[in-house]
Structure 1
């Protein structure tokens, strides 16, 4: 196991459980059918979308990505903490990783080329859709392949592409405050001179109003988040079918997406410092406790933001 392929402490039994209000089986099944149908529609239309220019393709991707979580029964709220101005060159978008839902959520606000493990290329439906969307597939099992992956990401950024990555390297439900942001992808941003755009994803259960990053935001390590994160969490060996059913059964599940201010890469920060700055923006800074364990402190300032409800 390498540092490029971390393992989260989150497990399906410990984290992926919903304890809030639930939908009846029939409405949940209808949501499941509608959500899967919309995903299949995206797969069918992907070849045609690939023929469009970047602007129309991104617009179409955003509309589809906004519709997918709603089809599965989620309400989505987006807050933009900075003007949504496109950079002259590329942009590296980094977000925390909790669920498969994170992918359409990020695509709904900052569509771009995803970075994914190479195994996804061979998954049914998802693999072909990801390939058509320009996904950069990387070999996470071999550390020697890391420089090649960094160069590929830097090349995409130099070409003006927006590249989306989940630098925790695995899904985390919030237990222990989330994972460290792996610095390799930030080297690609530095090499390309591209800004880093942090995106924070949070899930809440309507009945309890509990945030997925609740334990992280309060510096409490080792505790699983509340019912909102439990419903959305897709961790460890959790089967996708079980996760899909848990999501559609969770009543009042809301996803909150915060698009944060970009971090410039021309300030002299190395990749590790840049990774820490991005993580602090998304999850809060890492702190070392007297016991030697890593905890997470809150840096949630009351900054003005525009709210958009999908």
Structure 2
């Protein structure tokens, strides 16, 4: 850990976050949807640099047209990591919206929040996802429903895969691997009872942090899979990549 490095990065990140929030309030209202998405992508790339996080895409991400990106969930930075590759509308549990500051940022980044306590939450989220697909957007999903330390992948909740099945768009599994000096770094995960402040201490004070985004082979809509089969195939592919069995 490097306290001075942490302090320097914390000040820079705080200023950048403030600028982002001001951009949302003052600039976004006069920008069209395409320009707003470009701003979010560029802002995410700068945020990660200020955090000391290098993103290394592996494989071929679907860069154009509607696609469902399905990823394992490790940290609060996951949304910005994927946004740095392609601006994406994410589906996330409503709890994230209540996180201090980060909740505002992920909402600004175009996140679709789902409150599973509500009876029709999955159906409503699916409708929003299909609207994104109709615009040719990428939609991101963390179907584990929680974070892990990145060493394994939990079973996937299949409900929201139905939107991709109904819209007949491809699903691309994405394995996120958090590394420090080339080794798996579970201490960087935002998991368990850890506070956001504690996680920032580990992340902003660390050197040599890299997040590998392993874009795996897309599962075409023509495969004719049910939402449960699609979820299982995506989970198996990501789990193998996380264990280093594929890339």
TM-score of the superposed pair, with normalisation by structure 1 = 0.71
Are the equivalent residues in 1 in contact too, given 2:173–2:217 (CA < 8 A)? yes
Q: Displacement, 1:49? A: 3.5
Q: Distance in 2 between matches of 1:113 and 1:83?
A: 15
Q: State the Cα distance separating 1:143 from its structure 2 match.
A: 5.5
1:229 to 155, 175, 186: 186
Change (3 A) 1:101 1:123: closer
Q: Which residue of 1 aligns with 2:84?
A: 108
Q: Identify the residue that residue 237 of structure 2 maps to in structure 1.
A: 281
- Tell me the distance in 2 between the aligned counterparts of 1:112 and 1:75: 19
Q: Determine whether 1:139 maps to 2:115.
A: yes
The residue aligned with 1:184 is 159
Displacement of 1:84: 4.4
Corresponding residue of 2:143: 167
The verdict on how the C-alpha distance between 1:129 and 1:51 changes in structure 2, with shifts beyond 3 A counting, is farther
Which structure would you say has the larger Rg?
Answer: 1
1:248 aligns with 2:204: yes
Separation in 1, partners of 2:10, 2:73: 22
TM-score for the superposition, normalised by structure 2: 0.88
**Cα drift, residue 50 of structure 1:** 5.3
- Secondary structure in structure 2 of the residue aligned to 1:181: coil
Change in Cα spacing, 1:258 to 1:205, as seen in structure 2 (3 Å) is same
* Residue ranges of structure 2 left out of the alignment (5+ in a row): none
RMSD between superposed Cα atoms in Å: 2.4
Deviation at 1:259, TM superposition (A): 2.7
Higher helix share: 2
Shift of residue 63 of structure 1?
A: 1.6
For residues 258-283 of structure 1, the C-alpha deviation after alignment (integer angstroms, 9 at most, x for no partner) is: 23332212211111111122122222
Alpha-carbon displacement from aligned partner over 1:209-247 (angstroms, at most 9, x marks no partner): 322xxxxxxxxxxxxxxxx221x1101221101111111
Answer whether contact 1:46 1:133 (CA < 8 A) is retained.
no
1:54 deviation in Å?
3.9
- Aligned counterparts, 1:92-107, within 5 A: 92-107=68-83
What does residue 8 of structure 2 align with?
30
State the alpha-carbon separation in 2 of the partners of residues 40 and 241 from structure 1.
Answer: 17
Unaligned runs of 5+ in 1: 1-21, 212-227, 286-295, 302-310
Instruction: Determine which of 188, 197, 206 is the counterpart of 2:172.
Output: 197
Contact 1:99 1:233 in 2 (8 A): yes
Quote the Cα distance in structure 1 between the aligned partners of 2:22 and 2:4. Answer: 27
- 2:157 match: secondary structure: coil
For the pair 1:152 / 2:125, whether they are aligned, the reply is no
- 8 Å Cα contact 1:95/1:167 also seen in 2: yes
User: What's the CA shift for 1:113?
Assistant: 1.4
Aligned CA distance change for structure 1 residues 254 and 121 (closer, same or farther; 3 Å): closer
- 1:225 alignment partner in structure 2: none
Aligned length: 246
For the pair 1:299 / 2:240, whether they are aligned, the reply is no
